[in-house]
Amino acid sequence: MHHSIRFHVREGRLPFTVAVLSIAASMLLAGRAHAADLSGNVSFTSDDVWRGSTQTLGKPAVQGGLKITTANGFYASAWGSNVDFGPAIGANLEVDTTLGWNHAIGKDWSIDASAVRYNYPHTQVGIDWNEVNVSMGWRDRAWFGIAASSNAMATRHFGAYGYAGVRIPAGERLRFEFDAAHYALRDGLGDYNRASASAIWTVKKPLELRITAHATDAAARRRFGDDNAGSRLEAALQTTF
């Protein structure tokens, strides 16, 4: 859960998204007088896996995002992907909009705080939701953080997602990434754990090939179903600009 982006706006559905886009436009215009960076990413993946469960019923996804960052660390971003939650929900597009702030602490550490809106503009079912996230990073080699929402995954119940990861370079063109997380959920269906291991190969900068093995515990399989959680392999081509 987490493109030319089209919004099908219904009253009260996307106020946060509109605010993010307005702020992003203001930041970009302000960048003419003050330092502001525009960056982006595009990926083609065999499966969109979010926190251990597929968002596309195991089918491929095309994803992309844009991010505007000011000199003082504030940023606004929008990221989109095709999704498939089945005919009962009818969602086929996810657009995540974020407002955040990133700041270096000394030479080695950084802190990031953000508010995210998960938008599904092509469904009549009310599954949009908000989340706040605070994380710490060390030398671009390790990170840990927690994300929380009073409406986690649009369940109308509180959820807290704690995570940690490491990045291990293995030469100029290869690196490995490992992460693990626990999702504490108060919706009566129980908590669950997940983990992943990735190998990322730089084909030719900035194009990369990523292979990721995902795994969840039995609690995640009970929550999402054996076809959506458990062990799965994902392959993706990704690039940044």
* Mean pLDDT, residues 119-127: 90
Show the CA angle centred on residue 98, arms to residues 180 and 240, nearest 5°: 75
Q: Which pairs from 152-155 meet CB under 8 Å and 24+ separation?
A: 152/185, 152/187, 153/1, 153/129, 153/185, 154/118, 154/126, 154/127, 154/128, 154/129, 155/185, 155/187
Tally of residues, the chain: 241
Averaged pLDDT score across all residues of the chain: 90
Neighbours of 83 (CB within 10 A): 23
Q: Does the structure show a pLDDT above 70 at 17? A: no
pLDDT score of 45: 98
Q: Does the structure show a pLDDT above 90 at 220? A: yes
pLDDT score of 20: 57
pLDDT score of 35: 77
Determine the distance from the C-alpha atom of residue 200 to the mean position of all C-alpha atoms in its chain, rounded to a whole number: 18
- Say how far apart CA 170 and CA 200 lie, in whole Å: 10
pLDDT score of 124: 80
pLDDT score of 122: 84
The predicted model scores a pTM of 0.86
Q: Does the structure show a pLDDT above 50 at 26? A: yes
pLDDT score of 1: 52
